[in-house]
Each structure stands twice: as structure tokens, then as C-alpha cells.
């Protein structure tokens, strides 16, 4: 049974509970039956307060990407399956004084790409360049745990963007749980600080155009038409990756102890307040600290590269950093709740108390990537987003698997989407397009339809559209 609430909001009554879907008619009709099967499996978890899909929803492991699921902190549940494997994966945007005209020349853009690769390890097995960073400090203190040389502005009175213009610079947790982490994982994580990773992670140079109805907000954020920005997408690398399989086993054991069965072997959960739940939550917060530091250090490397190209005085302030894979304690409806977002972005409106201080007046930038051949978007949350616990999409969302993409999309089609051979070519760092064919625009949904769904639902609105100029992906 489907109840249409209007404004791209439908509520489906499934066997084990209700699922809210925010999508326009075209996107809604494209959702496959499997996503509803997975939703119903998730709704078997007791005492669920709320569950929804954003329009980029697609099949994941145990839970669909594009899920928001909420439980009360007092008697609720936590699920590693609804957090996802890349804990703390998220987006970061930095501003530059450059315009599109400044880097229109393809030789210059190629030089920029090569210089970024000098400072940012993009090879899948490359090691961190930052040997003086203490892994235990950043795991415990987030950005605050970095040596001062990597966060120079944090010590400048009144201008501390590295720690103020982020969703969270530090997550506090019970550090006693770190004793459970094997020594080899500490070493591996230390080797990965400031490394990009593979898959859909990227560093992208984009040119923006401001939406007229939000020009005032854009100006307050430091955005202007034709401006070049740097968008970064990465997560917690091996530190977060280890927690999924390691603690999924613990959750399965706990479920077996209580005689709880799941129709999907990849879907696990446990009460928040028992030991296994607390262990996972605390270590998940440690992974969130690694993730925000990793994106910070990726941006640091990009900044060093651009200083080599444009001079030592080149500035690249952070606009915002946020995550889209986590479970976070938040206050909603005057209660503390655990909000799981798996491939979902928090978008708070102006005046919301959870906004970072610099964005209390306007609401914070919500950073939504497209694919390397399509636009990305900078959005801002609206008051009506309360109905979806202020969650919006996290990107375009895959429309086909990596394997299917390689079978169905040709290199010529991929090259055409990147405008290869024209003055508007989107340059990539890869030596051959075949190596990243599974990340081509044809692998993803139409991002404009996704944004239309979010805007039409009143969850958020567009401040700026961001078109790609050059893309740096991980190299296998």
C-alpha cells in the first residue's frame, strides 16, 4: 500500500513497518523491487522510529545506500549494516580565487593533475607522506590531534576554518575500546593518512554557477560565479573498513545468543546499550575521526600542489566537510535518537542548533557529488527537511553494478561523456579510461533527477551547480 503525501514524498506500508521514499515520479518508478525487500528486512529490527530512502537509493550490502533509519537512544538498536563499510565516508569542498578562465588551458590543468599526484598518494597501495603524524592522536582527537604545521589556521584568532567549518572536527568516545584494535591495524592506518583510496573516491576541480535565488547565501559562503573549487570524496580507509567484518561477527554471535534470525545474513544489529553495541559505536566514532582527518590531509596535499603551480601565497580555505556513512546521536522531537545515515547527507536549515557556528545564520553547505562527467551540487537544508530527519541524497546513486557497467558501456561512450578531444574536455589522471570505466557517468542515475526530487520534496535547495574540469581518481 502506498500513501502519496505529495511533494515527491510517498509512504509505503511494508510487512514489518513503514518506509518513506523521497523521489519524483520518474525516479520512484525506476526503483527496483529489491530495495523494498531490503527495507522490509531492516524494518524487522525492533522499535524502529523512522526509516526512509533518498532518491539515490540503490541496493547495498545488508541495507540500501540512501537509507536513513532512526531509533531512540533509550531502547533502540544500532546496526553496522545501516552504517556501511566505509565509515565516515564523506565530502569536503575548498574555495580558490581561480576562475574557469584561469585554468581553461588543458596543459595547465594537466600540470595541476600531475602536481596533485606528487603530493597526494593515489596508488591503491601507496603509503602516507606524513610520517610525523601520530595515529593515536588523530584517532582520539580528530583534526585537533594533527601537528600545528598541518593546521596553521587553527591558531589564528577569529579564523579557525579547519576546525570550525566542518561538521565535526573531533568525535569524543570511550578510548578504552581502542585496546581491542590489533597492532597491525594501527600501523596500516598510519600508512594511509592522506591517501585517496579507490572506487568512487575522487579529487575534482569544478567551476560553479550560483543560483539566483540563493545568491546572498552564496556570497556569505565566499562563492562567486565562475569560481573554481576543489571537491574531495574519501573516507576512513582501512581503519573504518576493519570494523565492519570484525564486529559483524560479534553482532551475529549476539543475535544467535538471543535466538534472533535475519533473512539477510549481511544484516546485523544489536541493542545500543549492551556491550557489543557500545563497543561498535565507540570504535565507529574513532573511524569518523580518521575520516575527517584523512580528507583534511588530502586537501592539505592539494593545497601544497597548487602553491607549487600558482605561488606560495595561494589560498584554499575550506568551505565545509561532512559525512554520509555513520550513526550519530542527535536530538529530534525533544528526544536523543540514534540516526543512521548510509549514503545520506545531513542538511540542516538556517537557525538549527546543530549547525556549525559559522553556518548558524544560513544553514551549512550540503555537498552532493555527481559523477565525473556530470554536475555536482552545493545545497542548503530547508525547514521542511525535519520530516526526513534532515537527510538528503549523498550523490547520484548507482544505477548498475561495476560488472554490468563494464559489459554495457563502451569506452567511446565514456569518452564522449567526458568531451574528450574538445576544449571543454574533463581531464582525468588515469592513463586509460578503461581502468575507471566502472565509475563512468553511465554507471549512475541522472543526478539532475535526484536533485529535482530533493528540491521538490522541500528537503533542500540548490545554492550552486558545480561542473567538472579535472578529476583525480585512485590508481590500481
**Residues known to be catalytic:** 394
C-alpha cell at 350: 538556517
Alpha carbons 468 and 375: distance in angstroms, whole number: 7
Alpha carbons 301 and 230: distance in angstroms, whole number: 12
User: SS3 for 462?
Assistant: strand
**351 assigned to a ligand binding site:** no
**205 assigned to a ligand binding site:** no
**370 assigned to a ligand binding site:** yes
What DSSP element (H or E) covers 449? helix 447-456
Which residue, 375, 351, 377, is CA-closest to 364? 351
Alpha carbons 473 and 76: distance in angstroms, whole number: 39
**372 assigned to a ligand binding site:** yes
**80 assigned to a ligand binding site:** no
Alpha carbons 374 and 426: distance in angstroms, whole number: 10
**424 assigned to a ligand binding site:** no
Partner residues linked to 52 by β-bridges: 20, 68
- H helices of 84-236, where? 106-119, 135-141, 161-164, 183-191, 215-221
Alpha carbons 400 and 398: distance in angstroms, whole number: 6
Classify each residue of 283-295 as buried b or exposed e, where b means 16 or more C-beta atoms within 10 Å of its C-beta: bbbbbbbbbbbbb
**394 assigned to a ligand binding site:** yes
User: SS3 for 446?
Assistant: coil
Alpha carbons 176 and 444: distance in angstroms, whole number: 41
SS3 content of the chain, % helix, strand, coil (to 5): 40, 25, 35
**136 assigned to a ligand binding site:** no
Alpha carbons 383 and 350: distance in angstroms, whole number: 8
**125 assigned to a ligand binding site:** no
**244 assigned to a ligand binding site:** no
C-alpha cell at 339: 540516526
What DSSP element (H or E) covers 326? strand 325-332
**332 assigned to a ligand binding site:** no
**203 assigned to a ligand binding site:** yes
CB within 8 Å of 401: residues ≥ 6 apart: none
Give the CA distances from residue 431 to residues 222, 434, 470, in Å, rounded to whole numbers and listed in that order.
Answer: 35, 9, 14
- H helices of 167-313, where? 183-191, 215-221, 237-257, 275-310
**226 assigned to a ligand binding site:** no
**369 assigned to a ligand binding site:** yes
**395 assigned to a ligand binding site:** yes
φ and ψ at residue 454, rounded to 5 degrees: -65, -45
Which residue, 212, 203, 141, is CA-closest to 172? 141
Known binding positions for Mn(2+)? 86, 201, 233, 324
Known binding positions? 86, 200-204, 233, 324-325, 369-372, 376, 394-397, 473
Known binding positions for GMP? 200-204, 324-325, 369-372, 376, 394-397, 473
Amino acid at each position: 500500500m502506498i500513501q502519496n503525501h505529495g511533494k515527491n514524498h510517498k509512504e509505503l506500508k511494508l510487512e514489518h513497518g513503514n518506509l518513506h521514499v523521497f523521489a519524483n515520479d520518474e525516479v520512484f518508478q525506476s526503483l527496483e523491487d529489491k530495495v523494498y525487500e531490503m527495507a522490509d528486512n531492516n524494518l524487522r529490527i525492533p522499535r524502529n522510529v523512522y526509516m526512509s530512502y533518498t532518491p539515490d537509493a540503490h541496493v547495498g550490502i545488508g541495507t540500501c545506500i540512501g537509507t536513513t533509519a532512526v531509533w531512540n537512544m533509550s531502547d533502540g538498536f544500532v546496526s553496522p549494516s545501516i552504517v556501511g563499510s566505509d565509515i565516515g565516508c564523506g565530502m569536503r569542498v575548498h574555495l580558490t580565487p581561480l576562475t574557469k578562465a584561469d585554468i581553461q588551458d588543458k596543459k595547465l590543468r594537466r600540470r595541476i593533475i600531475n602536481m596533485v599526484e606528487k603530493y597526494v598518494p593515489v596508488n591503491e597501495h601507496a603509503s602516507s607522506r606524513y610520517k610525523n603524524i601520530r595515529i593515536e592522536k588523530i584517532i582520539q582527537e580528530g583534526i585537533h590531534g594533527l601537528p600545528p604545521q598541518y593546521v596553521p589556521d587553527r591558531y589564528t584568532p577569529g579564523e579557525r576554518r579547519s576546525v570550525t567549518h566542518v561538521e565535526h572536527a573531533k568525535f569524543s568516545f570511550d578510548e578504552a575500546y581502542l585496546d581491542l584494535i590489533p597492532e597491525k591495524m594501527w600501523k596500516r592506518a598510519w600508512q594511509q593518512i592522506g591517501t585517496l583510496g579507490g572506487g568512487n573516491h575522487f579529487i575534482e576541480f569544478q567551476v560553479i554557477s550560483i543560483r539566483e535565488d540563493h545568491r546572498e547565501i552564496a556570497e556569505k559562503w565566499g562563492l562567486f560565479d565562475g569560481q573554481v573549487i576543489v571537491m574531495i570524496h574519501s573516507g576512513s580507509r582501512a581503519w573504518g573498513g576493519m570494523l565492519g567484518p570484525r564486529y559483524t561477527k560479534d553482532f551475529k554471535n549476539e543475535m544467535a545468543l538471543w535466538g534472533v534470525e535475519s533473512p539477510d545474513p549481511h544484516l546485523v544489529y544489536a541493542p545500543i546499550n549492551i556491550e557489543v553495541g557500545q563497543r561498535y559505536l565507540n570504535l565507529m566514532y574513532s573511524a569518523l575521526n580518521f575520516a575527517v582527518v584523512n580528507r583534511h590531509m588530502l586537501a592539505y596535499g592539494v593545497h601544497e600542489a597548487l602553491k607549487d603551480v600558482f605561488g606560495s601565497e595561494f589560498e584554499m580555505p575550506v568551505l565545509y566537510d561532512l559525512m554520509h556513512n555513520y550513526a550519530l546521536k542527535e536530538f529530534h522531537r525533544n528526544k536523543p535518537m540514534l540516526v543512521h545515515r548510509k549514503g545520506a547527507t545531513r542538511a540542516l536549515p538556517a537557525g538549527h542548533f546543530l549547525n556549525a557556528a559559522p553556518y548558524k545564520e544560513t544553514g551549512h553547505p550540503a555537498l552532493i557529488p555527481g559523477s565525473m562527467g556530470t554536475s555536482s551540487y552545493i545545497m542548503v537544508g530547508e525547514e521542511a527537511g525535519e520530516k526526513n530527519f534532515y537527510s538528503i541524497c549523498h550523490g547520484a546513486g548507482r544505477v548498475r553494478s561495476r560488472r554490468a557497467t563494464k559489459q554495457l558501456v563502451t569506452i567511446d561512450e565514456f569518452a564522449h561523456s567526458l568531451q574528450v578531444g574538445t576544449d571543454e574536455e574533463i581531464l582525468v589522471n588515469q592513463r586509460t579510461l578503461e581502468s575507471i570505466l566502472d565509475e563512468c557517468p553511465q554507471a549512475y542515475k541522472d543526478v539532475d533527477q535526484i536533485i529535482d526530487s530533493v528540491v521538490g520534496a522541500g528537503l533542500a535547495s540548490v545554492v550552486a551547480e558545480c561542473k567538472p574540469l579535472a578529476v583525480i581518481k585512485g590508481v590500481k
